[in-house]
Amino acid sequence: MRAVSVREDKGVGLRGWLSGPKRKGLKAGAEVKEIVRLDKHRIAVLPMANISPDPRDEYFADGMTEELISTVSKIGELRTISRTSAMRYKGTKMSLREIAGELNVGVVLEGSVRKIGNSLRINVELVDVERDEHVWSQSYNRELAEVFAIQSDIASKVADALQVHLLTRERQSIEKKATDNIEAYTLYLKGLHYRSARSEEGYRRAIEYFDEALKIDSRFALAYEGIAECYERMGEDGVLSPRESFPKAKEYAVKAIEIDESLAEAHATLGAVLEEYYFDQPGAEKEFKRAIALNPNYGRVCHSYGAHLACMGRLDEAIAEIDRAQELNPLALEVNDCAAVIFNCANQFEKSVDACERMFRIDENYLPAHQDLAEVYLEKLRFNDAIEVLRKAVTMSRGAATAKGRLGFAYARAGREAEARMMLHELELDSKERYVSPVAFAVVHCGLGDKQRAIEWLERACEERAGGLLSIKMRPLWANLRSEPGFKQVVDKMGLNTISPVDP
């Protein structure tokens, strides 16, 4: 699909694309870039097919996929597509060549899992997509307790087949067992399955399974990290209040690191918590860098670190990091959302629209994509287009406060003050029924030019550690507040003007 222009010409841009035929996500037959000289050091581990007699064992196949991605990603000379993007092909009828074209990979690892009681049969094959030939394949008929040995053997054989060198520390990491208790590990896989749903119910079910695993093995670092990530995501998504979620996330992440300092995931989660809740920006950067050093293929930390750099005003570094995140996780909605915001902050509007286009292709009802696109239109002074997109976002999200706040801002910028104040009134009514972030009120007052009221709401948001606050230093929405002393004080309180830590 060609990139969409955001020139001033009327009718040009994603507005027309949005009102055109509906997209239903990435399916067989979708447009795919022509495959040219695919890099054989870029690999995708596709979802393992569950061929167990019991359909309830689906969690095991999904968990094995995630664990294999994690294990293969520890091979430094390879670039491994992250789980979020890989799992979008579960059950797809697309050919390997189509998938490789979308992910820009040269090799694909695919296979199946059959679990009967304590017996496992795992079939895997590594495919050179350009040549359409098997590079390596193998079947494993083992006991469930040997699952770690299977995972490490697959990763080692992939490295051998692709003729990449494994460093001693990489081999040690690949061969490291997460736990000696297979029952605890099975519970952990169930937790991963529910966490991937990214819903309140899914997070809570996942925490239950991770907690059960810890009752069996109290030194199971990955289970602690699993709980930490659930709490961090519930705080980030607004499922739990910041005071309920982030301190617990920190507690469990620190415990995971105490047990296993080499756990990149735990460092990444701790970095996010330090940044979002404790406003410890140097500490957050230290944790993000440690996570990347431990696993350069860990896509989640690449986009988290990119967002961190952008919030600190280091846009050139942020763009480099988000480019890497998009390479590792091209179909992740949250990665493309982050990219759209960063490119908008950097006045690279075409790239911001490209990221929006990716999100719409994956999920046309994804709220952040509409909000990001509206911000591009606002910067291009296309107020009516921004209002149209945001009205749709409000309807689609059933009145989400973030969408109403931006719609009020757009009305205000378009000179439609009465409608902007109506949005403030609606937000006030909503706040009597449910939590409404102070940021939503602040953005409307900002659009109206009521700077003092906007800053007062931002100060309240800062006290609450409300989501969506960290980007205020660089986000164009807040540009007319930047010279205000009160705004500068909020930015300073969040540590967004601190000097980055010196690398050891």
For domain 179-296, which CATH number applies: 3.30.1510.10, 1.25.40.10, 3.40.30.10, 3.40.190.80? Answer: 1.25.40.10
Name the class of domain 42-177: alpha beta
Range scoring the smallest mean pLDDT among 84-88, 338-342, 466-470: 466-470
pLDDT of residue 14: 52
pLDDT of residue 495: 95
> What pTM did the predictor assign?
0.85
Query: CA-based diameter of the chain, in Å?
Result: 70
Range scoring the smallest mean pLDDT among 37-41, 205-209, 475-479: 37-41
DSSP, collapsed to helix, strand or coil, labels residue 465 as: coil
For 99-154, the pLDDT digits (tens) are 999 999 999 999 999 999 889 999 999 999 988 889 999 999 999 889 989 999 99
Cβ–Cβ < 8 Å for 215, 223: no
pLDDT of 53 > 70? The answer is yes
Alpha-carbon Rg for the chain in angstroms: 23
Distance of CA 121 to the CA centre of its chain: 32
Averaged pLDDT for residues 81-88 = 91
DSSP, collapsed to helix, strand or coil, labels residue 86 as: helix
Q: Burial level of 139, CB count in 10 A (0-12/13-18/19+)? A: exposed
277-311 b/e (C-beta count within 10 Å ≥ 16 → b): bebbbebbbbbbbbbbebbbbbbbbbbbbbbbbbb
Where would I find the H helices in 277-400?
281-294, 299-311, 315-328, 333-345, 349-362, 367-379, 383-396
pLDDT of 35 > 90? The answer is no
pLDDT band at 380 (very low <50, low <70, confident <90, very high): very high
Name the class of domain 377-504: mainly alpha
pLDDT of residue 33: 44
pLDDT band at 32 (very low <50, low <70, confident <90, very high): very low
Q: 127: part of which helix (H) or strand (E)? A: strand 119-128
Give me the chain's average pLDDT, please: 89
Q: Burial level of 168, CB count in 10 A (0-12/13-18/19+)? A: exposed
- Cα separation, 10 vs 382, in Å, equals 9
For 303-330, the pLDDT digits (tens) are 899 999 999 999 999 999 999 999 999 9
Domains 42-177 and 377-504 share a fold: no
Domain layout of the chain by residue ranges: 42-177, 179-296, 377-504
Residue 11, phi-psi category: left (phi > 0), alpha (psi -120 to 50), beta (remainder)? left
Averaged pLDDT for residues 386-397 = 95
Task: Tell me what percent of the residues of the chain surpass a pLDDT of 70.
Answer: 91
Of residues 361 and 14, more confidence is placed in 361
Range scoring the smallest mean pLDDT among 10-24, 148-162, 405-419: 10-24
pLDDT of residue 29: 37
pLDDT of residue 15: 42
Of residues 459 and 20, more confidence is placed in 459
pLDDT of residue 458: 97
pLDDT of residue 177: 87
